[in-house]
Amino acid sequence: MKNQEHILVIGAGLCGSLLALRMAQRGYKVTLMEKRPDLRKEIVDSGRSINLAFSDRGMKGLRLAGLEEQVLPLCIPMNGRMIHNTAGELFMSPYSGRNEYINSISREDLNIMLLDECDKMPDITMLFNQKCTGVALETGEATFEDYKTQQTTTYKADVVMGADGVGSALRKSMLDHRKFLFSYGQDFLTHGYKELSFPPGADGGFLVAKNALHIWPRGKDMMIALPNLDGSFTVTLFLSWEEGKDSFESLNTDTAVLDYFEREFPDALELMPDLLKEFKENPTSPLGTIKCAPWHAYGKVLLLGDAAHGIVPFYGQGMNSAFEDIDVLDKYLNKYEGDWEAVFKAYQNERKEDTDAIADLAVDNFHEMKAHTARPIFQEKRKLEIAFEEAFPKEYFSKYALVTFREDLRYSEAMRRGRVQDKAILNLIHDGKFTESMSLHEKLDLVKLETRKMLHDDEVVEGLEEE
């Protein structure tokens, strides 16, 4: 570029730090602003998930920045869901019959790696403790208040990119703007979440199987556990805020908490010596979906990641979709670089449909994980799907595989195919169409036929039916 353009990125979390790095790699001058302290120097209590599920779509973004090999030591492969029933019995549900897996990764470790990479780039300036108080959309001017000095400073950039999460200051400025229509919606689940833990064993090892995402589905609520590199597990309880006997509102005494865990998660309770302390001290946080439009204005500002499309965590795609945002943006920079309006329009035109799709899929998966995974018909469906994928790896992909492992497939197409295919298999099982005399390939042919019929009929599938 003859004249080096200046990009101001708001938010130095996972999306913002990778975005800043990629923009600097493309030759832009970048200022990266973060309201929290530098987590490499101070303990930052963000109240966000300690570890995350990292998979193929997220790797696209890191591969783009040349960090694919660098991230691998931070990852613990998880080959499937280890389902714990109320009797303490285990059922392993693999994610794929092709030996595909997702990874547990520390949010903090990954963020530190990305910030360290940003530090290596001479064209990136990073400033912390800077709260954005507003953005002038037409001019690309953003104002920040320094938490330590209370001084207010306005920065002018050629482009302002907001990767500042679900509480985005840039999105608020767009919502408050009076000169164009801005649509915004936030939809909360009736459930919230609280993080707990399993410590490492006395020998530093893992107290339950290391290479699995553990899940305790209990119908109306559930608990999951993801492994950490130090041998511990981050445990997350998803529970109704205030409905009925077992809710965050009702679990207000040590006795109530212990009674609940003894009834619902007795095998996990044995592994939680700090349960009462953590339950009392750790925050209870909401779960919600954010959808808005447009994501850009005046060729000057753009929203990415959670700032544009916050989703609930039940497909493990929040971080992955944010990293995929950067990959898609990069594609349109290759095509339209120099014309920000064209870049932003093309980016939103492709990406909005897909992020709406993964938001809806994540809510679907919430209901599947907390209730359906423990039901015989869904376990039969998963066994059949794994058999299909093992025997016919190029012919069959489950909905989960389409969403998580087919990085070449858009979320919207993965949703369309996956929902219809799920309904087809469940209908065939429910109606007794699979017989013992049928070969596996004959069963697959039957699924394909039923799926094609449903797609041809253009049947609207609103997710998995309650039987």
Cβ count near 138 (within 10 Å): 13
- Name the residue among 167, 210, 198 with its Cα closest to residue 76: 210
In Å, how far from its chain's centre is CA 130?
26
Between CA 369 and CA 317 the distance in angstroms is 15
Helix, strand or coil, per DSSP, at residue 96: coil
The predicted model scores a pTM of 0.92
Which two three-digit tokens encode residue 422? 């799920």
Q: What is the DSSP letter of 353?
A: H
Measured N-to-C along each axis, helices 376-391 and 411-430 cross at an angle, to the nearest 10 degrees, of 120
Q: Is residue 237 packed enough to be buried (19+ CB in 10 Å), middle (13-18) or exposed (0-12)?
A: buried
Residue 183, amino acid: S
Q: Walk along the chain (467 residues) and give the pLDDT tens digit of each residue.
A: 447 899 999 999 999 999 999 999 999 999 999 999 999 998 776 555 678 999 999 999 999 999 999 999 999 999 999 999 988 899 998 999 999 999 999 999 999 999 999 999 999 999 999 999 999 999 999 999 999 999 999 999 999 999 999 999 999 999 999 888 999 999 999 999 999 999 999 999 999 999 999 999 998 899 999 999 999 999 999 999 987 789 999 999 999 999 999 999 999 999 999 999 999 999 999 999 999 999 999 999 999 999 999 999 989 899 999 999 999 999 999 999 999 999 999 999 999 999 999 999 999 888 777 656 557 888 889 899 999 999 999 999 999 999 999 999 999 999 999 999 999 999 999 999 999 999 999 999 999 999 998 887 654 434 333 33
Structural element, H or E, at residue 366: helix 340-370
Of 36, 48, 33, 40, the C-alpha closest to 306 is 48
